């Protein structure tokens, strides 16, 4: 592991302490910096917290907002819980796979998009719901999904667009 990553892990752990109760916060903070956690980081966290490597990996891989592999430049997370599914989630799912060109759980070959599912985002009243990076989009239809994705084609042009009232 390079010196910078080791230092980063040590700084985050020194902030939260070595108590097992801080594991999720440690993982989340380190994940936020790079977008994913390497096996070396997970091993070092296990060592510093005196935990089995399997425990640290299990926690890291359990939470949908923590990744143990590199993700695309933009990460789409579609809510797969019952309220979103009943409100048209299946059609949104199919549209996303068609428009992005990869199945859920995959990243596009150019590294632009990762397509993931997640449990409840907390915006059930405007389901179906998805997040792209940190933005929540609700009241989704196949047409609205295509409009939202088109905003990202210009990258900076869509930053101020309405997100469907799901803030």
pLDDT at residue 166 tops 60: no
What was the pLDDT predicted at 156? Answer: 46
pLDDT in tens, 26-84: 999 999 877 899 999 999 999 999 999 999 999 998 887 899 988 999 999 999 999 98
Give the DSSP H/E element, type plus range, for residue 23: helix 23-34
Give the integer Cα–Cα distance in Å for 103 and 125: 26
Inter-CA distances, 83 with 65, 71, 79, Å: 20, 27, 9
Inter-CA distances, 39 with 3, 13, 29, 50, 70, Å: 15, 17, 16, 16, 12
What was the pLDDT predicted at 164? Answer: 47
- pTM for the full predicted model: 0.74
- In the chain the domains, ranked by start, together with CATH numbers, are 3-62 (no CATH), 74-153 (3.40.30.10)
């Amino acid at each position: 592991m390079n010196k910078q990553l080791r230092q980063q892990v040590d700084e985050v752990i020194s902030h939260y302490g070595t108590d097992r109760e801080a594991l999720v916060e440690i993982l989340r903070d380190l994940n936020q910096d790079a977008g994913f956690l390497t096996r070396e980081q997970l091993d070092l966290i296990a060592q510093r917290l005196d935990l089995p490597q399997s425990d640290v990996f299990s926690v890291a891989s359990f939470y949908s907002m923590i990744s143990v592999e590199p993700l695309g430049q933009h990460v789409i997370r579609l809510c797969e819980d019952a309220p979103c599914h009943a409100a048209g989630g299946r059609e949104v799912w199919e549209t996303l796979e068609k428009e992005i060109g990869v199945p859920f759980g995959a990243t596009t070959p150019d590294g632009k998009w990762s397509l993931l599912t997640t449990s409840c985002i907390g915006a059930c009243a405007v389901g179906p719901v998805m997040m792209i990076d940190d933005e929540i989009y609700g009241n989704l239809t196949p047409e609205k999904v295509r409009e939202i994705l088109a905003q990202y084609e210009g990258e900076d042009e869509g930053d101020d667009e309405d997100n469907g009232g799901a803030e």
